[in-house]
Structure formats: structure tokens, C-alpha cells
Amino acid sequence: MAKVDVADQVLEFYSESIPQHVGIIMDGNGRWAQQKGMPRVYGHKKGVDAVREAVKFSRKVGIKSLTLFAFSSENWKRPEEEVSGLMELFMLVLTREVKTLHKNNVRLKIVGDLDGFSKSIQDKVASAHQLTQDNTGLILNVAANYGGRWDIVQATKVLAEKVKSNELNSADITEDVFDSFTSFSDQPLLDLMIRTGGEMRISNFLLWQAAYAELYFTPLFWPDFKDIAFAQAIEFFAGTERRFGLTGEQVKS
């Protein structure tokens, strides 16, 4: 019996409701590993496999932008051994995965305060950006040393400097102008935010971008988030009525 391709089923039933930009808080790697009697870093390594599947699935169903919360600005407070392991894993992924992403026409964008990383990681990030910058397929954003508040603050600083130098009048700062200085200004609006691991909060992820995003929470730990789970999130999204401040009657008319 032929194996059913979940992505094909999604396209068959929900082709008109595919979110253009999906953000995922990849939570539960450490707890997944602990349940198996393994160190937390082992869970993060298995989480890389789930990332590969999510990228492949996103490409198949036509998602334009996929943003993955890999390392928050608050994660530096975790045990030194775990942080060190995450940095090693980040370096390994940047070394091994970028050529495959490039081959598949994926544009990789590492988003966050990169000054917090070692020079070797910064160099790898710069090389990855340069290699994939002209690709026209899926945009894969990896949020690393990132926080939604950081994104808002850095945009505010740029605007403040422009007002100070008389390049911009403060009265001309609108939501659209402000948005143009945030980290995802060149991409579709965030449609769907997914959080794995059972927690029901957004943990300083894409605060500005999530204003009208649909929020989907699943108890599955990230290493267990397979194509079927992603398809269920899209099914949820397809079933929502996106009103953007309007009434249901206005949307229908």
C-alpha cells in the first residue's frame, strides 16, 4: 500500500488557506530528552531532524516564510553546559545544512542580535547569508539571540536616529513606517504562530508581527512534531475566520 503524502493531502483540502508566514516556538527538546533518560542537549540534536522535516513540509505546501525560534535572548541564562552544547550544535548546523538549503532554493536568514555570538559563528552566518541571498523559494528565518522586545527596540533606535538627523519627521512615523524597520519587513505578515511542548504563551517571540496571527498550541514536544502535526496546525488555521477587527458579517460580505 502506497504511503500517503501528508503535504499532498494538505494541498488537496486546504490549498486556498495555506498560511504565507508561519512562526514556530520549538519547545520541549530538553523535556523530550529527559523523559528518555538522556541529557537535554540530546533533545536539541533530535530537534534538528524535526527542523529538516518542517522545512521540507513548508516547501511542499507553499509556505513563503518559516520562522523558527531557535535561541532566545533569555536562553543565555540556562545551564552553561546546555548553552555550550547549543552553540556547538548551531555551528554544526550552519556548517552542514546550508549547502542543502541552497540546493533547494531556500533563503536562510539568521535574525537576532548576532553580536552576542562568537566570531566563528558570525562568520558562518555571513557566509550562509551570502550563499543563499538570491534564492527565490522558501525564506527560512532562524531567530537566534532574538527577542520580540529587542526587535521593537532596535527599530525604535533607528527611527530615533533618523528623526535626530532630520531624515524623518516624527509626525510621519506610522505603523507601516515602523514596520519597515523591523526584522521581517521584507516578508509576508505572520499568519500562524505554533508552539510545541504544551506551554500556552508566546515567550517574547515576534511580538510586533503577531498582532493578528492565529495562535496554535500543541502538547507535542518539538522532536515529535511531524508532518501530520504540521498539517493539523494548518487545518486549524484554515478553520479560523480572520476578521482583522471587522465583524463576521463584514468579512462574509
Catalytic entry in 5, 8, 29, 75: 75
Nearest to 31 by CA among 174, 162, 223, 239: 223
197 and 5 in contact (C-beta within 8 Å)?
no
CA angle 95/54/194 to nearest 5° reads 120
Q: What DSSP character marks residue 25?
A: E
**End-to-end CA separation in angstroms for the chain:** 45
* 75 labelled catalytic: yes
Active site residue 27: yes
Name the residue type at position 184: F
Catalytic residue among 5, 8, 27, 224: 27
Q: What angle do CA 243, 249, 253 make, to 5 degrees?
A: 95
Could you tell me which of 242, 253, 182 has the C-alpha nearest to residue 20?
Answer: 242
Which are the catalytic amino acids? 27, 75
